Structure 1
Amino acid sequence: MATQPVPGGLTPTRSAALVAVGTGLVAALLVLWLSKSAVAASGFLGAALVIGGGVLAWRMLARPAPAAEARVDWSLAHAVSQASVDAVAITDRAGRLVCANDRYEELFAGLPTPPGLPLDADGAAELGAAGRAAWRDGTGHAARLILGQLRLSAEVVRAGDEGDMLVWRFAPIEEEDSAELVARAVSGPLGDRLGGGGIMAALIAPDGHVRAANRVLAMRALGSSDGTVEGRDFTRFLITDSRGLVRFEREGLEGNPLRIVQVPFSDADDAPVLVALLDDEESVTPAIGASAAAHVRSLVSLLPLGLALVDRDGRFVQMNDAFIRAAGVNAAAPPLYPGDLMVREDKAAVADAIRRFASGATHSADMAVRLRSNPEEPVALTIAGARGLGEAAVLLSLKDNSEESRLKREVAQATKMQAVGQLAGGVAHDFNNILTAIIGHCDLMMMRHSPGDSDYDDIQQIRTNSNRAAGLTRQLLAFSRQQTLRPQILQLPDVVSEVSNLLKRLLGETVKLDVSHGRNLGPVRADPGQLEQVVVNLAVNARDAMLQANPRGGGTLTIQTRSISAAEVRRMGRDIMPPADYSALIVTDTGTGIPQEVLPKIFEPFFTTKEVGKGTGLGLSTVYGIVKQSGGYIFADSPPGEGAIFSIYFPVHAAPATARTTPARPAPKPAESWGSGTILLVEDEDMVRAVAERALVRQGYSVLTAENGEVALEVLEQNGKPDLMISDVVMPTMDGPTMVRQARAKYPDLPILFMSGYAEEQLRRSIDLDNVSFLPKPFSVQQLAEATREALAGR
């Protein structure tokens, strides 16, 4: 850029000529005024003009050639600035950007003029102050300017022949981790110099592992220079004798005692610690403490029990790590008094107890207190007087019972679920008896009415609702793990594939179904129909949750199957799931998730978060019962801000999987199941006994009835052996299996058909009888007739 001349300026030659002419003009006017002679005045004027013209001519002839105006070679300046790794810019006196290198343009995404740069916070103002200092003092500085993720420093220098330029230079600030610097120093030449002075140094990470060490420490710890101590547990290299002297474990008790000095060079909780080890051959006191009190404090810090020392004024003297964890203390800001750890109601009692023991009480006492970090769980605080420990006067012991509390809650939850399951099973049994009577009477009435009758539809509606109620009882039995299962050897992907089409219809158009299967899944043994119900129940719950969160957008339901090895189970840390090979079914949704306070209750029966009338609360409890009865494990997780995740694990079955085939359709049963023979019907419920008797009589059988086991044995004595005995399992006075054992003592080949509202699997554990059939309640008249015919045919 060339400099610009000033327009309209007068040169010295022109100025001299004008002065001469002006002087002649003034003189002519003066002569004219004094002499009144125009001729004389004209002479003076002419002389002035001649003199002025001569001066002008002389100056023009004598003037040297003008020098060329000075020009700034900005191409050279740009080339010089390009050689710098920093961003460089030059501005003139008017504040215009006249030159900048490519690094400047790249750094500031263009060519903005300093100090008006796109800096964060008050960077532009700080840079402007540096510019003003440069105009005033010649240099200016601005430190720690922020440009996005970068930290910059700026140096401003006044330059130019006339000092009318500013050179701006911007350099990034290289921030290096202080711990990394120390690590390199310890393992480098500085560490060698420390070793030459007899100092063994190591940088210890917060987890106790060695991050860096000098060579002399590695040599002493390992005994050779071949190995490395980096990444290994520092405490494994040391041992402590009975006097508290610390030595290298490799050197044994005959090695030189060591003095340990810790240098925490950072206040951060996760900062490493620099440790220096010095040989202390002449030490006669423990290296970790110069007195008995210090020795005890060192032991307190090493013990896994939660211990703390308190002085006579009730202030903490020391807390070990176990106490800090148990009390939920912030190690960066530890409390001053023990009462600061307790809830407000327990502070006074703790302070009084500490004051009493500090005053001379020698025994110990236990107190149940509640901590501010977890006020819902009382903990045991042990207080004892301490003597001979210097300023420490009271010893506090606090047990970290968080794991114990968690196990207690899980046991209480399992006990509650078991009790509720037993209740559900009993309720289901009673309901099944009632539903058996209702369904049976409906069947008998429908035999007397044709589809065209006015009462037929009403009877059919009663029967339909009864079957719906029977479905609810099956859910109760599933939760209580008392339903009848028909397990098969199958693959989880096959179950998911068979139910996928149904899921697409259930989820609707707004919810997307994403199914993926892992490789090498092992076979599992379960009831395929019940597993399909598990998938459907979880999918419907996920759909409702996603639509509630986003009625228009819906969401995505993800179903995954994958193989889980025993090693993965160990890493998961599931206490109740033993390490083994599992096939997993994982259902994930994109809803709002499950609140943490609700999560422990979701598998309880009748618990629901839906509106009144929109949920029975049996969906997840049914899932829980089916999974447990199938020998599997189910876990529900809900990460904050994400949807719910249900993970189901079934143990891999040892037998090889067999391909599932579609069962052949059974041959159509005869419309009528007429039969003949004598049947002894034993049932304690009058309504069930009445409907079963009528149904069997209508089928052509001769029926004898008894209301309990004792009466049934009397009927056998009076009437002899029947062709078939149909009996309830659970009855007062004498149950069904006991009655059958006594009957078979006299009639060994007597066929038995048991009927019960409980599950067959549960009953067979207590029935050690051969040649017995089972009919679950509730049953229809047709089902009773078919079961009777099959039991007689199997005779």
Structure 2
Amino acid sequence: MATAFPFLPVQASERGDRAILLGVAGLGLGTALLLLWLLGDVLAAGVFLLVFLAAGGLILLLGRHRSGLADAATMGDIGLLNAAIGDSSEAVAITDRSGRLICANRTFGEWFPGLPAPPGLAIGDHGDDRLAGAGRSAWRDGWAEVEGLATGRGRLSATALRAGTAQDHLVWRLRRMRGGQLVDETRRLVEGEGGQRLGAAGMMAAIADGGGRLVAANRVFLQRALGNEEAGIHALADLFDDSGGDVIRFRHEGDEATPLRVVQVPLDDGVGESPTLFLLLDDAGALRPAADAASDHVEALLAMLPLGLALAERDGRILFMNDAFRRAAGLPQGQPVLYPSDLVVKEDKAAVADAVRRFAAGQRMSGDIAVRLRYRADEAVALTIAGARGLGEAAVLLSLKDNSEESRLKNQVAQATKMQAVGQLAGGVAHDFNNILTAIIGHCDLMLLRHRPGESDYDDIQQIRQNSNRAAGLTRQLLAFSRQQTLRPQVLQLPDVISEISNLIKRLLGERVRLVVKHGRNLGQVRADPGQLEQVIVNLAVNARDAMPDGGTLTVQTYGVTAAEVRRLNSDILPVADYTALSVSDTGTGIPAELLGKIFEPFFTTKEVGKGTGLGLSTVYGIVKQSGGFIFADSKPGVGTSFVIYLPVHRADPMLDAPPPPKKPRQGELWGTGTILLVEDEDMVRAVAERALTRQGYKVLTAANGEEALEVLQGMAADGGETIDLLVSDVVMPTMDGPTLVRHAREMFPRLPILFMSGYAEEQLRRSIDLDRVAFLAKPFSVQQLAEAARDALGAKGTAAS
């Protein structure tokens, strides 16, 4: 350890005083000789010499006295400074005007052996020149600073401050910049208890400065590298023997020593020369070629497996990955990957690196971590990490499953579930809305019976009725989306349906869009509602027109798809069967991939505000699914969009093929007689229906629910007098629904005809109601439609009776 300087030696000033004294004596002697030559008087010359010498000696004594007082004061100041700066963690030095080192603290002596005076500290990379410039600036301005001095102890910053009573000294302070504190803490750790614990775990640790000299080391390192525990000053490279190629050993232990694995940890930011921490472990695996051979066999086995597998060494570097792993990670062809963290997004890098290190150093165990892949960042995947042993350099086994197909199926199931939930909601809303529209339309019909065309109120009532019918169309769209619409399926050919509406489609498309229609041969018949199928084609055509604002081509094509072709499609959604396909393709702007999965959702639209309700494609979806078909969409932005509808080929079945609808009777035939029991829980619907049936000549009894209706029927059965000719009932009612009421009524009146009213689909109700001789009337209905349904139900009774 170097000690601080309290003061400088004073022999130099004594020699200077003697030189001055000799000079004065010589000057006096020369002057006396000159006087002797000029005057020739020896006495006068001698007196002058004595007086001159006496005066010079007196002046010299006075000067020495004053210098001694100044030196004493200076020594007192230096002693005080030495006490103040002696224990500072910074390197502090004081120089005078001539650049001499006056004082330095203990830290300065440790950092700069030999105690050189600033700026001559032997700092490379022009460091001394920068210190000299700082010194000149300090003498001129009073203070100067310089940073980024690269030394073996890291990067330093230095300040120079002009100080002292006469402002004739510079105070130099040198301190470590960022990372310097880390060096000190690491050194204390390695040389202290932390180094002992590392040694107990079999890990050797050493610190080397920027010049490669050993600065600190734990006890295990010193014992292995030097054979003793005295560090001394050594070049770290001289302690190792790397003549064995890739194998590194301690030179002290000889050629038969265990190879070492060396990990370097820079303790600074890497600018210039910076200290480095070296961690060393025995690498016995380097001496086991059999393990390498086993590793080769393992890699060959992993390459054949369909699972995505990879091997990584202890520090996380990937040694091997099979093709399935590259596909699962979505790696581009030829993309290099050095570490598992290179596979994931930036946010997951730290978690993956930490997990790999933990499993590599821990016991033989495995675990999953949810990550987002760098090249497939749309959704999280599970990365399985397991500790591996006995596989050579490999310490970690990584597994990544290619779940893109599974994710696609999950998204489809989620989409179907969401559509089903929204469909149920839409069906319930449409049912309640139909009750309201039934009352509005019924009251309009009753009011129109009291007004004639030409009256002012007549036109207003007609307007209300037309708007109500428009609202009824909206409820039909909701029911079509929820697959609860009443369809009138017929056996038909798709080309016939397209030809019926081709002129309408051309008018809708306008002059800029060209319509191309293509039909395949030997198309199978399908069973669907022609009106609803026309709505599907029109909706798709309108969407295609809006996607081609600058014009384009709309292609409508029909073709057959055999069961063998469906099987080759390998679809998880489309069952294997014969289909007749309808394709509607455009050359428009296309749909982005992130929006393609949402286009069938209700109220979702990509059009501008006010240019679409978002029910068009959802209605198409509902009609196609209710007809037993399937619809798929494919789109490429900038190329166009294609919708393909698959309808199953219909096989002739007399029970399913409905007969053509009968001709409507004339208006005068709607009058009738008999007693009708009307059961409806909605007061407004019940009131309209009662008035409508009463005006047609029927006697109407009403009930607000199934219990009231059952009491009326039981009373009639007990009296044995008046009977019920027709029961008109809502299907869905609280406490007791319509079908339950009918079952109890048939026990008392087995031949009682039934007319059900409902806002739900007739086909769905027929499947859920196991009753015969039942007629249905869909809501909303007009007064005339209710009268016709009642007449037909009573007529069916008479036919059955005859």
Same fold (TM over 0.5): yes
The answer as to whether partners of 1:523 and 1:656 remain within 8 angstroms in 2 is no
Within 2, Cα distance between the matches of 1:664 and 1:437?
A: 27
Residue type of the alignment partner of 1:617: G
Q: Does 2:316 match 1:314? A: yes
Paired with 1:738 and 1:421, the residues of 2 have a C-alpha distance of 26
User: Alpha-carbon deviation of 1:567?
Assistant: 2.9
Give, in whole Å, the separation in 2 of the partners of 1:571 and 1:387.
Answer: 45
Q: RMSD value over aligned CA atoms?
A: 2.1
Q: Which amino acid aligns with 2:645?
A: I
State the partner residue of 1:719: 716
Q: Take 1:761 and 1:299, find their aligned partners in 2: how far apart are those partners?
A: 59
Q: In the alignment, what sits opposite 1:408?
A: 410
Out of 465, 468, 471, which is 1:466 matched to? 468
1:417 and 1:664 mapped to 2: Cα distance?
A: 33
Distance 1:508 1:360, change over 3 A: closer
Aligned to 2:557: 560
Letter of the 1:711 counterpart: E
More moved, 669-678 vs 313-322: 669-678
1:583 equivalenced with 2:580 (yes/no): yes
Q: Cα offset for 1:655?
A: 2.7
Structure 1 Cα separation of the partners of residues 313 and 402 of structure 2: 23
Distance 1:381 1:509 in 2: 56
Q: How does 1:533-548 map to 2 (within 5 A)?
A: 533-547=535-549
Q: 1:616 aligns with which of 613, 618, 638?
A: 613
* Amino acid across the alignment from 2:572: D
Q: In the alignment, is residue 706 of structure 1 matched against residue 703 of structure 2?
A: yes
SS in 2 for 1:291: helix
Residue 586 of structure 1 aligns to a residue in which SS? strand
1:770 Cα deviation from its structure 2 partner: 0.3
Per the alignment, in what secondary structure is the counterpart of residue 432 of structure 1?
helix
Code of the residue aligned with 2:465 in structure 1: it is: R
Of residues 557-566 and 744-753 in structure 1, the stretch that sits farther from structure 2 once superposed is 557-566
- How much has 1:656 moved relative to structure 2? 9.5
The equivalent position to 1:456 in structure 2, one of 449, 455, 458, is 458
Equivalence map 1:181-196=2 (5 Å): none
1:685 to 669, 682, 701: 682
State the one-letter code of the partner of 2:386: A
Contact 1:542 1:591 in 2 (8 A): yes
Letter in 2 for 1:699: Q
- Alpha-carbon distance in structure 1 between the residues aligned to 2:611 and 2:587: 21
Counterparts of 2:691 and 2:641 in 1: how far apart (Å)? 52
What's 1:169 paired with?
none
Shift of 1:783: 0.4
1:521-556 superposed Cα distances (whole Å, 9 cap, x missing partner): 111111111111111111111122213xx1xxx222
Corresponding residue of 1:219? none
Q: How far apart are 1:626 and its partner, in Å?
A: 1.0
The answer to whether structure 1 residue 636 and structure 2 residue 619 are counterparts is: no
Aligned partner letter, 1:742: H
Could you say if the C-alpha distance between residues 433 and 301 of structure 1 is closer, same or farther in structure 2, counting changes exceeding 3 Å? same
State the distance in 2 between where 1:667 and 1:772 align: 20
How far does residue 510 in structure 1 lie from its aligned partner after superposition?
2.6
CA distance in 2, matches of 1:374, 1:500: 44
Asked if 1 retains the 8 angstrom alpha-carbon contact of 2:340 and 2:353, the reply is yes
Q: Which amino acid is the alignment partner of residue 694 of structure 1?
A: R
Q: Partners in 2 of 1:476 and 1:506 — Cα distance?
A: 23
CA contact (8 A) 1:522 1:652 kept: yes
Q: Secondary structure at the match of 2:768?
A: coil
- Match in the other structure for 1:323: 325
Structure 2 residue identity aligned to 1:579: V
**Where in structure 1 are there 5+ consecutive unaligned residues?**
1-287
Partner of 1:736: 738
Instruction: Tell me which residue corresponds to 1:42.
Output: none
**Conservation of the 8 A alpha-carbon contact between 2:480 and 2:622:** yes
Q: How far 1:664 sits from its partner (Å)?
A: 9.1
Whole-Å separation in 1 of the counterparts to 2:584 and 2:611: 22
SS in 1 for 2:547: helix
Q: 1:420 to 1:708 in 2, by over 3 A?
A: same
1:594 is matched with 591
Change (3 A) 1:664 1:571: closer
SS in 2 for 1:418: helix
Q: Are the counterparts in 1 of residues 292 and 391 from structure 2 also a CA contact under 8 Å? A: no
With over 3 angstroms needed to count, the CA separation of the structure-2 counterparts of 1:736 and 1:437, relative to structure 1, is same
- CA shift at 1:661, angstroms? 14
Which one of 598, 601, 605 corresponds to residue 602 of structure 2?
Answer: 605
What's the CA shift for 1:364?
A: 1.3
CA contact (8 A) 2:309 2:398 kept: yes
Q: 1:309-343 CA deviation, whole Å, 9 max, x = no partner?
A: 00012100000111111111234122101011111
What is the aligned partner in structure 1 of residue 512 from structure 2?
A: 510
Contact 2:592 2:636 in 1 (8 A): no
Give the whole-Å Cα distance in 1 for the aligned partners of 2:330 and 2:747. 69
Instruction: Pick closer, same or farther for the CA change 1:665–1:676 going to 2, 3 Å.
Output: closer
Opposite residue 490 of structure 2, the aligned amino acid is Q
Q: Which residue of 2 aligns with 1:377?
A: 379
In structure 1, what residue type is equivalent to 2:487? L
Q: Is the 8 A contact 1:308 1:395 kept in 2?
A: yes
Contact 2:291 2:391 survives alignment (8 Å): no
String of CA shifts for 1:467-503, please: whole Å, max 9, x gaps: 0000011111111111111212211111111111222
DSSP 3-state at the match of 2:647: strand
Shift of 1:289: 10
CA distance in structure 1 between the aligned counterparts of 2:413 and 2:529, rounded to whole angstroms? 28
2:588–2:638 Cα contact (<8 Å) kept = no
* C-alpha distance in 2 between matches for 1:651 and 1:562: 12
Structure 1: distance between partners of 2:328 and 2:523: 42
From the superposition, tell whether residues 758 and 635 of structure 1 become closer, same or farther in structure 2 (CA, over 3 Å): same
Aligned length: 501
Residues in 1 aligned to 2:601 and 2:781: alpha-carbon distance in whole angstroms: 28
1:390 aligned to 384, 389, 392, which one? Answer: 392
Q: How far apart are the structure 2 equivalents of 1:715 and 1:687?
A: 21
Report the secondary structure of 1:779's partner residue. Answer: coil
Answer whether contact 1:433 1:757 (CA < 8 A) is retained: yes
Post-superposition offset of 1:745: 1.1
Give the one of 642, 654, 665 matched to 1:645: 642
Opposite residue 498 of structure 2, the aligned amino acid is V
Q: In 2, Cα distance between the equivalents of 1:647 and 1:359?
A: 56
The offset of 1:508, in angstroms, is 2.3
Inter-partner Cα distance in structure 2 for 1:324 and 1:353: 20
> Contact conserved, 1:489 with 1:526, CA < 8 A, in 2?
yes
Letter in 2 for 1:693: E
Give yes or no for contact 1:679–1:724 (8 Å, CA) kept in 2: yes
Mapped to 2, the partners of 1:643 and 1:368 lie a distance apart of 37
Query: Shift in Å at residue 459 of structure 1?
Result: 0.5
2: distance between equivalents of 1:783 and 1:289? 89
The residue type equivalent to 1:626 in the other structure is I
Structure richer in helix, relative to its length: 2
Taking the aligned partners of 1:613 and 1:331, their CA distance within structure 2 comes to 47
Which one-letter code corresponds to 1:477 in the other structure?
Answer: L
* Paired residue type of 2:729: S
SS of 1:588's partner is strand
2-structure distance, mates of 1:779, 1:489: 27
The change in CA–CA distance for 1:569 and 1:289 in structure 2 (over 3 A counts) is farther
* SS of 2:388 mapped into structure 1: strand
Alpha carbons 1:289, 1:295 under 8 Å: kept: no
Match of 2:41 in 1: none
Equivalent residues of 1:697, 1:703 under 8 A apart: yes
Aligned partner letter, 1:517: H
Q: Which residue of 2 aligns with 1:355?
A: 357
CA–CA distance in structure 1, aligned partners of residues 368 and 661 of structure 2: 71
Whichever of the two has the greater Rg, that structure is: 2
Match of 1:362, as an amino acid?
R
Counterpart among 560, 564, 569 of residue 566 in structure 2: 569
Shift of 1:641: 2.5
Q: Which ranges in structure 2 are unaligned for 5 or more consecutive residues?
A: 1-289, 718-722, 798-802
Does structure 2 conserve the Cα–Cα contact (< 8 Å) formed by 1:726 and 1:753?
Answer: yes
* Deviation readout 1:690-735 (Å, 9 max, x if unpaired): 1111111111111111111111101112234311000000000000
Q: Say whether the 8 Å CA contact 2:291–2:392 is kept in structure 1.
A: no
Partner of 1:654, secondary structure, is coil
2-structure distance, mates of 1:573, 1:785: 53
